[in-house]
């Protein structure tokens, strides 16, 4: 459809403020946003609806319109519900960039315009989907009070007999049908498997929907983004680990174009909800950014404490006592190309740190995450333990638990050219300890980065052991040290299949106990003694000496 057709539809309440010569532009979708930089969610051809909450000063208009123009947006419509009239600086910026600008009558909701565009863009549809589209207003009206993604999933179930779920990139269920006859929910293991398949397919460049068999059923996976992503769009690695997906329990391989078109329209509606939730995180992100800047600048503890007192009610509403705090650092690094990892790491931290038991419109409403460069930093509040209560030995988040459910799908999204590493600090009780917690989390992340694997984490507990030192040993020194000790054993194993390396690992792990090691390896003690003797002969070391045991231990850890 054309912008001109929207202007000529009286029910939409649009008034043209500029760009008459550009009204023949094609509209491929619609996006509602008040983000200062919505570029990551734009793919070209959208009509952007905004309430102008991003505008704080006149200069913001030029920056916002420039971003929309670069993304290939078809037009911009500004709502009049919160403002008396559209600012002149926005009108002038749109004129400079040849961006068609409309004002939206305060009596017309953005939901009505979204519904109209989605319906018109998909003009040829089967009869059953007309009823579904006509009822999509329930998804949009009133924000979260209107039901959110669950409403449209209920409509898919009741009108088209389709069971569907909205999943995060790590496989967490964000929304599912709430109908009584919708059947059991999607198991967490299946959600993780579907997310992994979706990420792998997206990284390979295959277009959706992706068909996947899991747990005896066939699922079709639809990316929750505009279906008109241009070939010149930004690198898929910038969004693949943060985009949602719609999983439908059906094989879409033989669906008619009309039904596929409906599902793509549904993903656009769900994307509006995604944008709303992302915008809702703005305050928490800003708080985290302010605290991070104060800590890194070496601000006085009193100044940091004042900012934390502002953050506490936002992150833990209704909590009387000041919370304790924990810091989590994440870093995303890509091989080749200049791709910023900070925004991706920020989105992943917000996903990984989700608290399913938290009250509020979404389970991550207690997490504040900032990013700088390729690094993201999360400020996680922990309820303060009353003085009379017995505190747990290690309160708060633990590194291994963070990755338990997300490692496999995220590793598939990182493919063979990306790495994600986490570091977790201990809990601190005051602003004085926050700077140390940040450094502790960064050190722990470096420990994680020294480990093999695409997704790794380390906690503060590991900083009291030798593993803290290993990441700071230069690579050439590590290689030379391990080669001198282990290469003779590897060569011997390769020629004779003697398993000297596994024997050495088991012997050290059993603290040099002959009996326990022989039992673990299912060997006679004499056979074990022969192997250890061969290790000592090949390396010139003595495994009865503590120094030599320690050298072998470190060599194995660094190999």
pTM of the entire predicted model: 0.59
Is residue 327 located within the same domain as residue 248? no
Is there a contact between 326 and 396 (Cβ–Cβ < 8 Å)? yes
Quote the CA–CA distance of 260 and 125 in Å, as a whole number. Answer: 9
Q: What does the pLDDT read at residue 78?
A: 92
Where is 6: in which H helix or E strand?
Answer: helix 3-7
Position 202 in a domain: yes
Is the previous residue joined to 209 through a cis bond, with omega within 30 degrees of 0?
A: yes
Q: What does the pLDDT read at residue 141?
A: 45
Is residue 151 located within the same domain as residue 295? no
Q: Which two tokens stand for residue 302?
A: 């009193």
Position 345 in a domain: yes
Distance of CA 531 to the CA centre of its chain: 48
Is residue 193 located within the same domain as residue 65? no
Indicate the number of domains in the chain: 4
Position 135 in a domain: no
Is residue 528 located within the same domain as residue 389? no
Domain boundary, last residue among 229, 257, 274: 274
Residues 6+ apart with CB under 8 A from 192: 170, 171, 405, 406, 408, 409
Name residue, tokens 């000790």. Answer: 485
Assign residue 337 the CATH number of its domain. Answer: 3.30.70
Position 131 in a domain: no
DSSP characters over 523-554: --HHHHHHHHHHHHHHHT--TTSHHHHHHHHH
Is there a contact between 350 and 170 (Cβ–Cβ < 8 Å)? no
Assign residue 179 the CATH number of its domain. Answer: 3.30.450.30
Position 123 in a domain: no
Strands 29-32 and 14-18 come out as unpaired
* H-helix segments, 298-394: 301-315, 342-352
Is residue 450 located within the same domain as residue 483? no
| Residue length of the chain | 559
Residue 541 burial by CB count (10 A; 0-12/13-18/19+): exposed, middle or buried?
Answer: middle
Three-point CA angle 40, 45, 50, nearest 5°: 65
Q: How many helices and strands in the chain, by DSSP H and E?
A: 20, 15
The one-character DSSP state at 82 is: S
Residue 338 half-sphere exposure toward CB, CA atoms < 13 A: 0
Residue of 166, 14, 164 whose CA lies nearest to 86: 14
Is residue 268 located within the same domain as residue 286? no
Is residue 531 located within the same domain as residue 385? no
Is residue 436 located within the same domain as residue 519? no
Residue of 222, 190, 189, 226 whose CA lies nearest to 206: 222
Q: Compute φ and ψ for 127, nearest 5 degrees.
A: -60, -30
Quote the CA–CA distance of 273 and 138 in Å, as a whole number. Answer: 12
Is residue 535 located within the same domain as residue 403? no
Quote the CA–CA distance of 144 and 283 in Å, as a whole number. Answer: 17
Position 13 in a domain: yes
Tally Cβ neighbours within 10 Å of residue 241.
25
Is there a contact between 167 and 349 (Cβ–Cβ < 8 Å)? no
Tally Cβ neighbours within 10 Å of residue 133.
20
Residue of 236, 169, 161, 248 whose CA lies nearest to 212: 248
Distance, first Cα to last Cα, the chain: 60
Residue 68's alpha-carbon distances to 64, 101, 150, 267, in angstroms, are 6, 12, 30, 21
Assign residue 29 the CATH number of its domain. Answer: 3.40.1390.20
Contacts 24+ apart (CB under 8 A), 282-287: 282/35, 283/314, 284/314, 284/315, 284/365, 284/367, 284/368, 284/369, 285/346, 285/368, 285/369, 285/370, 287/311, 287/314, 287/315, 287/368, 287/379
Q: What does the pLDDT read at residue 317?
A: 57
Per-10-residue mean pLDDT of the chain, 559 residues long, equals 87 90 88 89 89 91 94 91 84 94 89 82 47 48 54 77 88 76 75 90 82 89 64 62 88 82 82 78 82 84 80 60 78 78 85 62 64 86 57 59 79 85 86 84 86 85 60 70 89 91 91 90 92 92 87 81
DSSP characters over 254-319: G--HHHHHHHHHHHHHHHHHHHHHHHHTHHHHHHHHHHHHHHHTT--HHHHHHHHHHHHHHHSTT-
Position 132 in a domain: no
Three-point CA angle 198, 200, 203, nearest 5°: 105
Is residue 330 located within the same domain as residue 446? yes
Domain boundary, last residue among 240, 256, 274: 274
Quote the CA–CA distance of 431 and 305 in Å, as a whole number. Answer: 5
Domain boundary, last residue among 431, 455, 472: 472
Is residue 419 located within the same domain as residue 482? no
SS3 state at 522: coil
Residues 6+ apart with CB under 8 A from 404: none
Give me the domain span that covers residue 8: 3-113
Is there a contact between 331 and 375 (Cβ–Cβ < 8 Å)? yes
| CA-based torsion, 322, 323, 324, 329: positive or negative | negative
Tally Cβ neighbours within 10 Å of residue 419.
18
Is residue 150 located within the same domain as residue 269? yes
Position 398 in a domain: yes
């Amino acid at each position: 459809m054309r912008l001109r057709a929207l202007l000529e539809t009286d029910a939409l309440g649009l008034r043209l403020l500029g760009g008459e010569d550009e009204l023949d532009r094609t509209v491929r979708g619609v996006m509602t946003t008040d983000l200062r930089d919505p570029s990551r969610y734009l793919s070209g051809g959208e009509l952007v609806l905004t309430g102008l909450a991003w505008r704080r000063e006149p200069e913001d208009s030029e920056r916002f319109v420039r971003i929309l123009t670069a993304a290939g947006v078809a037009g911009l419509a500004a709502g009049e519900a919160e403002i008396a009239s559209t600012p002149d600086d926005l009108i002038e910026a749109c004129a400079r960039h040849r961006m068609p600008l409309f004002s939206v009558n305060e009596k017309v909701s953005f939901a009505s315009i979204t519904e109209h565009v989605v319906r018109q863009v998909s003009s040829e549809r089967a009869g059953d989907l007309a009823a579904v589209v006509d009822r999509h207003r329930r998804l949009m009206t009133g924000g979260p009070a209107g039901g959110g993604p669950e409403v449209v999933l209920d409509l898919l179930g009741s009108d088209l007999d389709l069971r569907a779920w909205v999943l995060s990139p790590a496989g967490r269920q964000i929304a599912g049908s709430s109908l009584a006859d919708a059947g059991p929910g999607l198991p967490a293991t299946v959600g993780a498997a579907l997310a992994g398949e979706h990420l792998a397919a997206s990284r390979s460049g295959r277009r959706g929907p992706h068909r996947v068999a899991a747990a005896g059923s066939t699922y079709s996976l639809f990316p929750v983004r505009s279906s008109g992503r241009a070939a010149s769009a930004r690198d898929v690695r910038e969004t693949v680990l943060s985009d949602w997906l719609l999983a439908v329990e059906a094989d879409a391989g033989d669906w008619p174009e009309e039904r596929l078109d409906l599902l793509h329209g549904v993903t656009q509606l769900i994307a509006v909800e995604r944008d709303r939730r992302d915008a809702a995180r703005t305050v928490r992100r800003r708080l985290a950014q302010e605290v991070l800047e104060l800590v890194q600048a070496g601000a006085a503890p009193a100044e940091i404490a004042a900012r934390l007192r502002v953050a506490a009610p936002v992150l833990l509403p209704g909590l009387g006592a000041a919370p304790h705090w924990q810091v989590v650092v994440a870093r995303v690094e890509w091989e080749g190309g200049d791709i910023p990892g900070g925004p991706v790491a920020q989105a992943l931290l917000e996903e990984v740190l989700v608290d399913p038991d938290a009250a509020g419109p979404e389970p991550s409403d207690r997490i504040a995450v900032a990013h700088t460069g390729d690094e993201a930093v999360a400020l996680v509040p922990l309820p303060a333990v009353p003085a009379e209560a017995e505190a747990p030995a290690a309160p708060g988040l633990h590194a291994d638990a963070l990755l338990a459910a997300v490692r496999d799908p995220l590793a598939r999204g990182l493919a063979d050219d990306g790495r994600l590493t986490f570091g977790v600090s201990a809990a601190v009780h005051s602003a004085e300890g926050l700077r140390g917690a940040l450094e502790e989390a960064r050190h722990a992340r470096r420990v994680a980065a020294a480990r093999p694997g695409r997704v790794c984490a380390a906690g503060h507990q590991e900083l009291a052991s030798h593993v803290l030192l290993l990441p700071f040993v230069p690579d050439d020194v590590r290689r030379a040290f391990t080669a001198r000790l282990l290469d003779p054993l590897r060569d011997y194993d390769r020629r004779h299949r003697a398993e000297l390396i596994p024997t050495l690992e088991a012997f050290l792990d059993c603290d040099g106990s002959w009996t326990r090691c022989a039992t673990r390896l299912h060997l006679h003690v004499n056979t074990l003694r022969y192997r250890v003797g061969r290790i000592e002969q090949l390396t010139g070391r003595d495994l009865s000496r503590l120094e030599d045991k320690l050298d072998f231990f470190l060599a194995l850890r660094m190999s």
